[in-house]
Amino acid sequence: MQINPFIFRSYDIRGIVDKDLDVEKVEAIGKAYGTFLNRRKIRQAVVGRDCRLSGEEFKPAFIRGLISAGVEVIDLGMIMTQLMYYGQYRFQTNGGAMITASHNPYNFNGFKLAVGFSKTTEIEEVLEIKGYVETDNFFKAEIAGKVTEADIREDYFNDVLKRIRLKKKFKVVVDFRHGTPARYVPELLKRAGCEVISRRDNVDGHFPAGTPDPTAEDFIKELAKVVLEEKADLGLGFDGDGDRIGVVDEKGRILWNDVLVAIFAQEILERFPGSKIIYNGLCSRVVPEVVKQNGGLPIIWRTGHSFIKSKIAEEGAAFGGELSGHFFFNDNAYGHDDGSYAALRVLEYLSDKNTTLSRLYETFPQYISSPEIKIGCPDEKKVEIVKSLSKKFKADFPDAQITDDTVIPGDDGTRADFTDGMMIFRYSQNGPYITVKFEAKDQAVYDERKKYVREMLKSYPEMIWQDQLCVNLEALN
């Protein structure tokens, strides 16, 4: 089958509906994943989808492909990604598929595919599945697999709530921007003992208020206003499939998710001193500094939920997290990214410490830090451009500590650490764009770094400054 090769990314599959993905291609991907599972003697899989409109026809097409390979399917319906992972444990199966494009705009869709409990494909497995699709080399079972339906909402709620205990009642504002978590999170937070103020909680796959991306400053600024108006203890923003969050403190201040990585690391290191903590290259220097201050070992690693999860397993780390809002708890949970569980862990730590989020944050090293900025760039150009950027970057900052693919094999960017901050350029693994972030202790230095980043990117005519995938461009003004 002819199919856009760029939709097969480093750890998942993602493309534009009716351009890269249609019902026929989705069924072929289902056949390929079924073939992939059969080679590993995995003959059962849980399958779910988020609220994207294309999921209504993509899920049955994908399931048709799976059962043609003899795989027994447990259809979980419209769920958050973490319920797919939980479903693997609930039904004791290594197979699992989530039909989602996470934080991409409404006209994208894709697949997160399991290769074990809480473990998803990496580049080798994605390329294997791509090969089956391109060659139509599918396993065909003599007897098709059966499909059963299951509602695991209550089981999931009970499982999460037995791991969390809040000592006080929090008033929480939660904004969903019409994403799938609106079906689950309000009830879960209420059962945990919270007063919940829900915004844009009618699920709508058109995403009429904009893409639910908690790294987008416009989304979180809207949340901050409501937190102040309601005099709430906390504000939470969720992405479209529920595995990521963004947070606002009670003062209406946005705390980018690298600060949350530091908060979770500190909480875990108080109980497990000396633990390893994994974080990705986009995170602020606040993360390794807090980890070291609390007696832990910080390990920087490649961006991407599959890569971070694998590194946590390899190192036996207690926790890992990313700037994007993926958090992986390896102490009292399954180790996969679950935004609703992460939200409750924040609240539990605040209740244990009898403090507020702002007071906790103010105990950390303070940086002026940009959000995660995304600029459109064609898939066929982005790797070459980042390599070119990196050469100039390293030449311009010879005294900086450089982290790139010579330090982290297969890394997708270049990071420079200074005594007073950091700067990074990288290409995305799940979309045609380039990501940057920078920070400093001093406003004047911050402004200099912002100017440097802006002028560096502007020097490449291939960059697309007006694109639906662009996020937080105003941070470069």
Q: Do the domain assignments include residue 268?
A: yes
The domain tally of the chain equals: 4
Give the DSSP H or E segment for 147.
strand 147-149
Of 102, 284, 324, 390, the active-site residue reads 102
Q: Do the domain assignments include residue 351?
A: no
C-alpha 473/C-alpha 454 separation (Å) is 10
Q: What is the per-residue pLDDT across 248-296, written as a single tens digit (0 to 9) for each?
A: 999 999 999 999 999 999 999 999 999 999 999 999 999 999 999 999 9
Written as one string, the DSSP assignment of 283-339 is S-THHHHHHHHTT-EEEEE-SSHHHHHHHHHHHT-SEEE-TTS-EEE-SSS-SS--H
Instruction: Compute the 3-state secondary structure of the chain and give helix, strand, coil in percent, each to the nearest 5.
Output: 40, 25, 40
| DSSP label of 41 | T
C-alpha 131/C-alpha 199 separation (Å) is 43
Last residue of a domain, one of 226, 253, 280: 253
Looking up tokens 């809002």 gives 325
* pLDDT at residue 431 in the model: 87
**236 & 261 share domain:** no
**321 & 387 share domain:** no
Q: Are 126 and 12 in contact (CB under 8 A)?
A: yes
Question: At 207, which CATH number?
Answer: 3.40.120.10
Q: Do the domain assignments include residue 157?
A: no
Q: Do the domain assignments include residue 356?
A: no
**207 & 331 share domain:** no
Question: At 435, which CATH number?
Answer: 3.30.310.50
Radius of gyration of the chain (CA): 21
**260 & 247 share domain:** no
Q: Do the domain assignments include residue 26?
A: yes
Q: Do the domain assignments include residue 381?
A: yes
Q: Are 457 and 357 in contact (CB under 8 A)?
A: no
Q: Identify the domain containing residue 238 by its residue range.
A: 169-253
Q: Do the domain assignments include residue 56?
A: yes
**379 & 468 share domain:** yes
For residue 414 the two structure tokens come to 């270049």
**261 & 241 share domain:** no
* pLDDT at residue 6 in the model: 95
C-alpha 30/C-alpha 27 separation (Å) is 5
Low-confidence ranges of the chain (pLDDT < 70): none
Q: Are strands 421-427 and 319-321 parallel, antiparallel or unpaired?
A: unpaired
Q: Do the domain assignments include residue 162?
A: no
Burial state string for 147-184 with b = 16 or more CB within 10 A and e = fewer than 16: beeeebbeebbebbeeebebeeebebbbbbbbbbbbbb
**22 & 144 share domain:** yes
C-alpha 297/C-alpha 291 separation (Å) is 7
Q: Are 312 and 320 in contact (CB under 8 A)?
A: yes
The pTM assigned to this predicted structure is 0.96
Q: What is the per-residue pLDDT across 192-229, written as a single tens digit (0 to 9) for each?
A: 999 999 999 999 999 999 999 999 999 999 999 999 99
**325 & 432 share domain:** no
* pLDDT at residue 218 in the model: 95
* pLDDT at residue 417 in the model: 97
Last residue of a domain, one of 283, 311, 335: 335
**Burial of residue 79 (number of CB atoms within 10 Å: 0-12, 13-18, 19+):** buried
**23 & 118 share domain:** yes
Q: What is the per-residue pLDDT across 127-145, written as a single tens digit (0 to 9) for each?
A: 999 999 999 999 999 999 9
Give catalytic status of residue 10 as yes or no.
no
Last residue of a domain, one of 109, 125, 152: 152
- Give the three-state DSSP class for 230: helix
C-alpha 471/C-alpha 465 separation (Å) is 10
**433 & 323 share domain:** no
**25 & 122 share domain:** yes
**144 & 182 share domain:** no
Helices 55-68, 23-39: inter-axial angle, 10-degree rounding? 40
